[in-house]
Chain A
């Protein structure tokens, strides 16, 4: 998962795009070490010490991980649980849409 996201972030560098994580690791110290090791540079909300039962995942009714939500520039949910190429395609579609409305 991480390699694909890394490549996506790198490919869309400078574009109107952001990868935002919601991390559900309960142990913050371990999480930091893992992020350094995996070169996870994008920003993540921390779901809190409750881990997978934290407030953000509860509010979004997320019970399976990973869970992907693709949101357009207006803040509207446009795609759910798109992986790999489908994720790339979804993001590209929304970026093109954003370009066309400018």
Chain B
């Protein structure tokens, strides 16, 4: 659009038209309401491109004159997408932040849940710590309980021999006995 720029002779307001205004067309200043014919000299000055494309009727001229108002309106309208974009970006960013924070909270909450699960099986591991190796220790050293030490009366044994015949160690009282724990391995 080859818009025109001209001055209202009455209030000196700078007016812009949406389209070219042919010479002789009367325009109405939107600010002071004065109807005027644009200065013929002013037109060529303002015209960047000299090819007239459209004839503007008086009605159009008023529209063209009024176009100063729609434009300020249209500027915010053009900016609105920007503000909308910014607002959208802010909303998105806040959503991401909130979502991220929620996820972090979830992870933080989930981790303590998982860790106890890990530590529960860790409890059975405790029996594997030295306390167990220690009990096998005493049997390695001879004579664990007092009643089995040298000088004590040997505990009696009641059992069966290989053929299933019952007998007792005390059956051999009065004899020197070598008691031999053995295995054929």
Contact = CB atoms under 8 A, between A and B. Distances in A.
Interface of A: 1, 5, 8, 15-25, 28, 30-32, 34-35, 38, 43-46, 51-52, 55-57, 59-81, 87, 91, 94-95, 98
A75 B173 contact: yes
Given A45-B161, A77-B149, A20 B178 contact: yes
A52 B183 contact: yes
Nearest to A82: B178
B142 A81 contact: yes
A67 B155 contact: no
A89 to B, nearest CB: 12
The 9 closest A-B pairs by CB, nearest first: A63-B139, A67-B181, A45-B159, A34-B184, A69-B179, A24-B183, A94-B176, A71-B177, A16-B175
A81 B180 CA distance: 9
Interface string B152-173: 1111010111100001011011
B128 interface: no
A34 B14 CA distance: 126
A77 B97 CA distance: 81
Interface of B: 136, 139-140, 142-145, 148-155, 157, 159-162, 167, 169-170, 172-185
Contact of B179 (A8, A31, A68): A68
Given A17-B175, A24-B181, A98-B176, A77 B162 contact: no
A93 to B, nearest CB: 9
Nearest to A55: B159
Given A22-B182, A35-B162, A75-B170, A91 B176 contact: yes
B183 A65 contact: yes
B49 to A, nearest CB: 110
A59 B176 CA distance: 21
A62 to B, nearest CB: 5
Nearest to A42: B180
B151 A77 contact: yes
B176 A72 contact: yes
Given A20-B177, A31-B162, A71-B154, 19 more contacts: A16-B175, A18-B176, A21-B180, A35-B162, A44-B162, A60-B148, A61-B144, A63-B139, A68-B179, A68-B180, A68-B181, A69-B180, A70-B177, A71-B176, A71-B177, A75-B154, A77-B149, A77-B152, A78-B151
